[in-house]
Structure formats: C-alpha cells, structure tokens
A and B are shown apart, each in its own frame.
Chain A
Amino acid sequence: MTSPRAGPADAGSPREPGAVAEPRTPLLSVRNLAKHYARKTGLFGRNQGVVKAVDGVSFEVFPGETLGLVGESGCGKTTTGRAILRLIEPTAGEVVFEGQDVLHLDAGSLRRLRRRMQIIFQDPFSSLNPRMTIGAIVREGISIHRIAEGEEADRRVKQLLDEVGLRPEYAKRYPHEFSGGQRQRVGIARALSVEPNFIVCDEPVSALDVSVQAQVINLLQDLQRDRGLAYLFIAHDLSVVEHIADRVAVMYLGHIVELTSARELYREPLMPYTQALLSAVPVPDPRAKRDRIVLLGDVPSPANPPTGCVFHPRCHHPHRDAACAAIVPPLEEKAPGHFVACIKQPPTIVSLGDSAGQRWHEAT
C-alpha cells in the first residue's frame, strides 16, 4: 500500500502554493489501522461475521498542522479518532506518536502519553461531569499528571479559562449554567490543561449554532497558532473542514478514498465519491448555479460491504467496469501530494461546477 507521505507546507504559512516544505518527521503516523466488530446475534451469540468499521487506514499528522477527516455517518471517522488514542482498542495496525508505538504501551506509559494527545468531544452536554465545577473539570488533568498543585494549579486553571475566553470566576460554577458554546470552551480548556501537542477534535462544532460555531473555530485556530498544536479535525461539515484544515482525508465505508491538501481537494477532487460529496454541499449563494451529482441509494452496510472498491455500486465514473468490483483500489499518488483510491484515471478534470454529473445523468 502506498503511504500518503505528503508533508504540509510550514505551519506558519499553511497552503502557500509551491512552498517547498522541508522534510519533516510526522508527529503521528497511522499504518493500516483497522477496527472490526464481531456481529453476534441470536440466543447463544453465534458469530455472524464482522463489521469492518475501519479497514486499513493510513495517514500522518505533522507538527502544527490540521488534518481534516471527513465522511458521512458510519464511514469510520470517529472510530479512527478514538482508536488512535486507544479509547477504542484497534483490531490491527500501527500507531506511532513521537516515535512511540502507541498500541503496545503498558497502562502507565499510555497514561503518560495521554498528556501529549488529547480529545475534544462533539457533545458539550454529555462530555462534562454535571457534578463537578468547571474549575474541578479543568484541574483534574493537572492533578493526575502532577503538573501543578495547590495555588499554582488554581492559577493555571484561571489562566486556561481566560485563554479560551471564559471569565476566571466561572471556575466555581457547574456545567448546566453554561450555553453549548461555553461548555465547548470548557472542553477545550480541559484538553489544553495537560499541555498536549496533538488534539483529536471529534466534531467539535457540529452541535453549535453558526454564530457560536464561528467563535469556537476562531478559538481553535488561535490556540493552534499560539501553542503550535496539531489537530486531527473530524467533521461531516465540509465547509468547516475546508476552512480549518491544511490537508483533508475523505473516508467512505471504513477506507480513506482521497487525501490531499484542502485547497487541492476542493478545487479538484479526483475520487468520484469526493466529487459527489462536494457537489452536494448547499452553497449559500442563490445565484450560484451548478450541476449536482446526486448519488443514488444509500451507503451500504459495513457488515456487508461491496467487493472491490467499496464505492463502485454508486459510482458515476464513466469508465466504471467489472474490474472496480474485483480490485480493492490502493491509495495512490495521482498528482503531487494528491492520493486517490481509484483504479481508473480520474474522470478528466472535474472541478466543482463542471458538468461531469450532468453528462452522467444524460448517459443513464
């Protein structure tokens, strides 16, 4: 399997086209990560095969960059994020973080590692303990990792709250006294409290209204700039991901089907699924007229995925044929830094607004 080793441009000037990135060591490197669940049904829980939630995913995250991970419900993006942190034990694969093999660490080493890797959850309501004050929630990690104690710990809590835009006196209040956006800020302060350099952001703004969402996105970007954080930003909202990510990986049915810079992906998606996905995003401009590739049917069940390319039954590629149902497409570099899992040549240059979908509709 080809590994997507496309390094991002320097963190200071993300997405500078043509900027020659120095060869850098990835902060996180994920190889052939898989998570399979046994399907047990009936009285005696007989094994009914496996659900391949994540099936051989590989990517790298470099210091200070944001890698977006997008896809629709059930594509495995959340499972991938959690498996990296071992919040879910992966079935197979390799996760190397700062040179350490994450999947073979003992409990103590894993705990120490979690100082460096943190997570922000989607739901700001269920992810905060309602019986703990905001201050206690943020302080917990500081105490567990023995970063500070006593007054020094209090001082850090106040500083963290201030940094995420909450008043320090809020430390004494409980989660229910806050709005969704404020709670998400608490979740961010908690993640930052142990001074990580990598954060998995699992749909951190999906539950928020658009005006509050913008506040949280700006905050995440400010923190990244000030602290040199790397993010794995998991989301289903493609416009949010394009806004925040340097590179983007697109997942479909447990596989990464396309991986490239955010700019390249949105300008010139090469995998037919990505093309359909991007063309489906409603554009907030009533005068924008474009052709939409409307996919037929639903995403197949991961318990019984299609053979070959998992996308082939819904694919609109003009040269789709029997080989697509037989060969599992590797993630290959089709253009510099642009990885695509498709055995066919990209269907010409299909940027947004092109009439590929139209032609396909006419042909069928």
Chain B
Amino acid sequence: MPDPLLSVENLRTYFYTDAGIARAVDGVSFNIGAGETVGLVGESGCGKSVTALSILRLIGSPGRIEPDSRLMFEGRDLLRLSEGEMRRVRGNRIAMIFQEPMTALNPVFTVGDQIAEVSRVHEKKGRKVAWNRAVEMLELVGIPAPAERAREYPHQLSGGMRQRIVIAMALMMKPALVIADEPTTALDVTIQAQILELLGDLQQKFGTSILLITHDMGVVAETASRVIVMYGGEIVESAPVDRIFANPHHPYTEGLLGAMPKVGQERERLQTIPGTVPPPTNWPAGCRFHDRCRYSWERTERAHPPLYEIETGHLSRCFLAEEPQRRAQPHEPMVAQS
C-alpha cells in the first residue's frame, strides 16, 4: 500500500481553560490516501472541527496540540515545521473550506482580489496575472460572467455563489488536500446539491483528497468513500462507507443512523440517544458513551475500550467486539433511568 497523503497519529488537542482541561481531541489517528474522500462525522462537541483546525495548526491559546502528536503530510511532520514553513503549506498544499462563506470572505475587498491574493502570496505572481488566474478559477467553479463577478463584493452574491468563491480560493493552488468543514450546512438543499456536485467534479479533475467534516449522514453517504465517526474527542468507529451504513458496529453510530428520519421510510417512532454529549472537561470514565448506551455493562463503566478491528478496514471502539452476545440484551441507558 502506498504511503498515505496525510497520517494523523495520536493527535491530542487540549484547551487549558478555567473550568479545567478540555480534552477536545484525545488521541485521534487516521490516514487519508491520495485522491480519497474521507467523511468525519459526529455531533456538536465531538472534536471534529478541532481535529481539522489542528491539522492546519490553527489552534490558538488556551488550546495546545500536545507534544507527542504527529501529523505526517507529504513526508514531513507538520508539527515540526516553523511558522514560515507552515504558512507555505496552508492555502497551498492544504486548503480549507469553512461552513459560513460570509465570514470566510473579507467584506471590503472584491471577490476577485481575494482569490488573486492566493496566487500573489503563494506564487509571487503580479497583480495582472493573478487577477486573470482568479477569473479563470471563477469560471471553473461555474460562476456565470466571471470577469464581471470578480469585481463584486461578497455581499452582492448569494450564499451558494459565495461558497463557490471560497472553493475557487481553496483550489487555486491545486492543493493535495482540502479540508471542508460543514461546507454545505448553511446552504439550502438545492444549492447544497450544486456545491457537492461541483466539489466532486473538481476532485476528479485535480485528484485532490478531501476531508469532509459534517453532521449530515446523507451528505457523507453520497460523497465519502470512508467514514470516521467521532464521539467524546475520540474515533469510535471507522469503516468504508458501504459498510458503516449497512453494518454499523458501535452503538453510537447505530444510534445516529436510527435517529435520522429518512425520506420514503414508513413513519415509526424515531430511535433516540437519550441524554446529551458530555462536556470535554469531564469525559465519563470507562467508555465515554457508556451512560447513553443501550448495551452498557459493568466493564464499560470501568475500562476504556481500545479500537478493535472488526474486519479489515473496519474499526470500532466497543467491548461488544469481544462480547458480541451482549447485543442481544439492550436495556434503558443509564441517563434515561435517573
């Protein structure tokens, strides 16, 4: 197997707050291959966005990436690079697409200027050349009349158009990896379909790898080849996309899939996961999901489960891997009993 493009090894990002140490990302390891789309899913507070920001080293005080973490990218550990070297990686080899395109764009510059800036900073191109490159990119991301649109300001464009601008900026340098953090969450469903189609087309064209962060299992099913599920700052399950939907192993993944209403499905009561995500300053002992889990038993309250390999390429952080018979005895989770 060829070396992965990005290899995240034991990533731990902690925030040293007055309320205690928030272990937002707590020992996360995964790979992304060249040209691959990996979906990173989980609910608010699971650590998925902090994982993304950590890869780009965009964690500010009071946060810190713990020293024994490693981020191997194109043969180098990003955590060992100087700030100057890291700046040449950001926006150049690894680009990011944010959820809210309005806040990602500067309101006082034209969108053409903002896209051209990428080329001027990373390629040291002159104003004119960079501008022409910007217009080319606008055309590539499907903006009609790109030469005119380039002279407009973000507020003159719709949400879908703005997200296209952000994508044009991200892809300007043909990065090896694009991290897309909820890129379509703020958009209407018909615009979301346009943007997902565009991302897919551009990925094929440039061979870019995508780390797609989302809470929407539908978006993941349609775009990713592999899925990583996070809960409580950890990876709880990871598998090829077909596998995770057909045969989820971790009770949290099972709960997430069951909680979604699905179009065309008979109307029955939705499955729920009682309780809420615990705060990162105070993860539960044992399995971090045990108090919300339908299968928990004494062992899960005491011991912290490792990631088991259920099958080649399918990992699950659950003791059910050792004691599968427990799945036959679901019960009311602890939080629902109180």
Q: Interface on A for B, CB 8 Å cutoff?
A: 15, 72-73, 179, 181-182, 209-215, 217-218, 221, 236, 238-240, 242-244, 266-267, 276-288, 292, 294-295, 298-299, 352
* B242 engages A212 (CB within 8 Å): no
Chain A residue nearest to B338 in the complex (CB): A167
Chain B residue nearest to A74 in the complex (CB): B188
Chain A positions within 8 Å of B262 at CB level: 239, 283-284
Closest-CB distance, A312 to chain B (whole angstroms): 16
Closest-CB distance, A253 to chain B (whole angstroms): 13
Partner-contacting stretch, out of B217-225, B301-309, B318-326 = B217-225
Against A, the Cβ 8 Å flags (1 = close, 0 = not) of B25-39 are: 000000000000000
Once A211-B255, A238-B263 are accepted as A-B contacts, the answer to whether A218 and B245 lie under 8 Å apart by CB is no
Chain B positions within 8 Å of A240 at CB level: 261
Chain A positions within 8 Å of B192 at CB level: 280, 282
* B188 engages A72 (CB within 8 Å): yes
* B189 engages A236 (CB within 8 Å): yes
Closest-CB distance, A236 to chain B (whole angstroms): 7
* A298 engages B259 (CB within 8 Å): no
A-B contact sample (14 more), CB < 8 A, given A279-B193, A285-B245, A295-B190:
A217-B261, A217-B270, A239-B263, A276-B190, A278-B263, A280-B190, A280-B192, A281-B218, A282-B192, A284-B245, A286-B242, A294-B197, A298-B191, A352-B264
* A285 engages B272 (CB within 8 Å): no
* B161 engages A298 (CB within 8 Å): yes
* B194 engages A294 (CB within 8 Å): yes
Interface membership of B43, Cβ < 8 A: yes
CA distance A212 to B189 in the complex (A): 21
* A286 engages B189 (CB within 8 Å): no
* B272 engages A284 (CB within 8 Å): no
Chain A positions within 8 Å of B277 at CB level: 209
Chain B positions within 8 Å of A236 at CB level: 188-189
Chain B positions within 8 Å of A181 at CB level: 276
Q: Please list 23 pairs of residues, one from A and one from B, whose beta carbons are closer than 8 Å in the complex, sorted by A's number.
A: A72-B188, A209-B44, A210-B215, A213-B259, A214-B261, A214-B270, A215-B274, A218-B270, A236-B188, A243-B261, A243-B267, A266-B264, A277-B189, A278-B263, A280-B189, A280-B192, A281-B218, A282-B221, A284-B220, A286-B242, A292-B197, A298-B160, A299-B158
CA distance A206 to B161 in the complex (A): 23
B197, B217, B222, B263 — most chain A CB neighbours (10 Å)? B263
Chain A residue nearest to B264 in the complex (CB): A266
CA distance A244 to B263 in the complex (A): 11
* B241 engages A286 (CB within 8 Å): yes
Chain B positions within 8 Å of A299 at CB level: 158, 188
Report the interface size class on chain B: 35 or more
Chain A residue nearest to B41 in the complex (CB): A210
CA distance A73 to B160 in the complex (A): 12
Once A238-B189, A280-B193 are accepted as A-B contacts, the answer to whether A214 and B219 lie under 8 Å apart by CB is no
Interface membership of B205, Cβ < 8 A: no
* Residue from the list B43, B189, B256, B265 in contact with A72, Cβ < 8 A: B189
CA distance A32 to B188 in the complex (A): 26
CA distance A72 to B44 in the complex (A): 24
Interface membership of B106, Cβ < 8 A: no
* Residue from the list A211, A243, A285, A294 in contact with B256, Cβ < 8 A: A211
Chain A positions within 8 Å of B260 at CB level: 210, 214, 239, 284
CA distance A248 to B196 in the complex (A): 27
Interface membership of B216, Cβ < 8 A: yes
CA distance A218 to B260 in the complex (A): 12
CA distance A267 to B264 in the complex (A): 7
A238, A279, A284, A299 — most chain B CB neighbours (10 Å)? A284
Across the A-B interface, the 10 shortest Cβ-Cβ residue pairs:
A282-B218, A243-B261, A214-B259, A211-B273, A72-B188, A280-B193, A209-B43, A214-B270, A284-B217, A214-B272
* B221 engages A284 (CB within 8 Å): yes
Interface membership of B53, Cβ < 8 A: no
* B43 engages A211 (CB within 8 Å): yes
CA distance A304 to B308 in the complex (A): 58
* B259 engages A286 (CB within 8 Å): no
Chain B residue nearest to A301 in the complex (CB): B158
CA distance A213 to B189 in the complex (A): 18
Interface membership of B17, Cβ < 8 A: no
Interface residues of B in 216-248 (CB under 8 A from A): 216-222, 241-242, 245-246
Chain B residue nearest to A352 in the complex (CB): B264
* A242 engages B270 (CB within 8 Å): no
Chain A residue nearest to B267 in the complex (CB): A243
CA distance A230 to B32 in the complex (A): 49
Interface membership of B128, Cβ < 8 A: no
* A283 engages B263 (CB within 8 Å): yes
CA distance A281 to B264 in the complex (A): 12
* Residue from the list B197, B219, B259, B265 in contact with A210, Cβ < 8 A: B259
CA distance A279 to B260 in the complex (A): 18
Closest-CB distance, A79 to chain B (whole angstroms): 16
